Structure formats: C-alpha cells, structure tokens
Amino acid sequence: MGTSEVFGFAHDNMGAARKAVESALSISLEEKEESMPPGECFYIWYVPDGPCVQLRRNSGPYQRWQGDPSNPWHPDYGVLVYVHGQAREPTVEALKQNVPGLSFLETMPTM
C-alpha cells in the first residue's frame, strides 16, 4: 500500500489554487470532470511511474461521510491537493516551500 500527502488551501478558489500549484511546479494541470457529482471538475498532472498531483474541492465524494451535516476531511480547507505515486518527494518539497497559503495536512494510505 502506498501513501498520499494531502495539502489544503483555506479558501475554495480552484482557479487561484490551480495557478499557484502550476507556477510552483512549472506544470500544466489537466481539467477532468468528476463522476459524482456530475458537472464538477478536478485537476490532475501525472508522470507515468512518477508523481501524480490532484486538486479537488473538499466536498462531494471526497468527504469522509455525507449526511446531515456532511463531514469534510479537513473542514477549514476548501481545496485539497493530493500528491501520490513514485518519486514524489521533490514535488512535495516544492509545494511545501513555494506555494503561499498551502498547508500540509497529513500523509494518508492509498489503495
């Protein structure tokens, strides 16, 4: 089982989060549509056999559980950034050092 580093922005502005991450890593994130809920999007960048970076809203299927009330992973953060895959350490360090307003939240197991 691998791990994923999770970061968060204390706002919900996906455009600003995307710009900050792309600038810090000198990458272009690709927009993808979420399967649930339809119409929502997330952003992804990956290298085969290398790191993967995803930006997602802290809502919808990425909440710990939904109900009344819903329970987001980290309620103080509107946009979450996940970094997983192989050789991700330079990417993680670049995010920690070069993205203002981005907080490291946790390392979590992945499937």
Provide the whole-model pTM.
Answer: 0.86
Q: Minimal CA–CA distance to 54: which of 96, 19, 21, 102?
A: 21
For residue 72, tell me if it sits in a domain: no
Burial class (CB in 10 A: 0-12, 13-18, 19+), 89: exposed
Rounded to an integer, what distance in angstroms lies between the CA atom of residue 100 and that of residue 21? 10
For residue 110, tell me if it sits in a domain: no
Q: Minimal CA–CA distance to 17: which of 5, 7, 32?
A: 7
Position 111 scores a pLDDT of: 66
Six token digits for residue 23: 């600038």
For residue 84, tell me if it sits in a domain: no
Rounded to an integer, what distance in angstroms lies between the CA atom of residue 91 and that of residue 77? 20
pLDDT-flagged residues of the chain (< 50)? 64-66
The total number of structural domains in the chain stands at 1
Domain that includes residue 17, residue range: 13-65+89-100
Residue with tokens 């710009």: 19
